Structure 1
């Protein structure tokens, strides 16, 4: 039996997000059985989740051990945690317990909740009924998915998916501009369209942001909105330049020359922020999606470790990303990079 203070053991949770106060697994032999008793949120033993009528027998030995050892060590476990296992090495016992927890459908971490508030009211106020938004029905469905996300990582990825749609859509719209005066149907038209969309994802994302910086979305240009948002982020008590630089290194954000981007060399003025913003967004996306052993993986656990990570994603990146995702369909058609002049392009 291993007893420890609460801060020595990370809490575990059931599928509803409630902290597990009691867990046990009865293996086919007693040696491989394991149990957890967490007193941090439990004022009395009656709330541990033990059955009302309990008659242990056969494989229920781990429960018997739990109760006996609990009674012998009540003073030691008050406000702490007990891991009951035949394994004498604490680290190995805890690892074995965690394996059983996840195999039983429990969680070892909780999602970091996403709280953005309504920052798009000026965009909504700019909508006019005489404008035709029919061609944006598919993106509207994707935006509805964004609104359903409750965690930071899910919200970021769903918003990024909308931008992915806009990246290719802008290339299709651009290809169409070269067919003025005739229909989009020749073989070379489709070949050119394929060539324009056959580029790296970060190149498409960078191009999309460049196309949008001078666009008025709502009450201001996207460029001015980014500058104001970044200034607000830097004024936040959680902001720390060294922590920001560390996060950029973890993400592997590099400039066009392949050098590491830092605050002093990449985010120290409005122009440099615009130039490197797409790289920051793309690097965060890759860090969430990829989980290679040699790369930094931005999980809920990692997100919770450093305040700067949540600050940069929630207060800097997501507001600007959602400004494009939700607001670009409202932009004037004549200068809108994702607007299809011809209805037949909706099929592509």
Structure 2
């Protein structure tokens, strides 16, 4: 199908990228053979930095050309080209003409292109298009017409704004793509020896917090293999554990409860084989928003796959020693499940 425009432009903060932005960008994709999406903001919004915005655009719209810039990016761009003049981002409150000129410069100097349509949901779109027409025309030394396409100006199709979403991301998660929302989900790690109530607690917390939990991959593989694991399996377990966390972030709400981590695999690798794959050690460095260590004060239950109470106590001491050596803060959980759930909830509420 022939497109209405050769190249379209969408500019925004995208902090965060929400479904209103997505509707705007998709409208540009539907109307243009190529689409350029530019994102910048000064000041930045906490938790919505350029790396995150670039990742969102790449994940949701891999077919567009996206450019996410900040002052550090611009300084590096100038330095690699030996340029003395260092451009800086305009402040969000600067006059519209400043932003229009800056955007035109980004298109021509950085992206090496012009556009023939600009897509906005704002009244300023006509003036923006006129300014781009003048800048591009002066650049190519001939008339260059940039059309303004206004999309959902009254916010009827997607009734939301970035300001509203930033005020309560979790309340407005329906307006965020799962890839975007996953950025704001915080991981909670539960550690402890065998038969210390981790899995029971993980289920209970997921139910209490209205979210999902990540089962322990090592135990699943152990049961699947009838208790026969080899050293190479340690890396597979750690990789699958982290991969499952990444996948479930998109289905969690506010918190993702993790039954163990790659650090669990480090322990079993050392215990069973006396060594640890470097890849497993790297995965065990993955940070968590909160770490909880389950005390071995539950009656030990032998389910046919576990060692004994002495082994459980040794695991507990190892976790405590390693966490302290790494400077990882943790909260000790003791008592029955209800007490542990209450402790976790209070800790999360205070963070």
TM-score by length of 2: 0.28
TM-score by length of 1: 0.28
Higher-strand-fraction structure = 2
Greater relative contact order (CA < 8 Å, ≥ 6 in sequence):
1
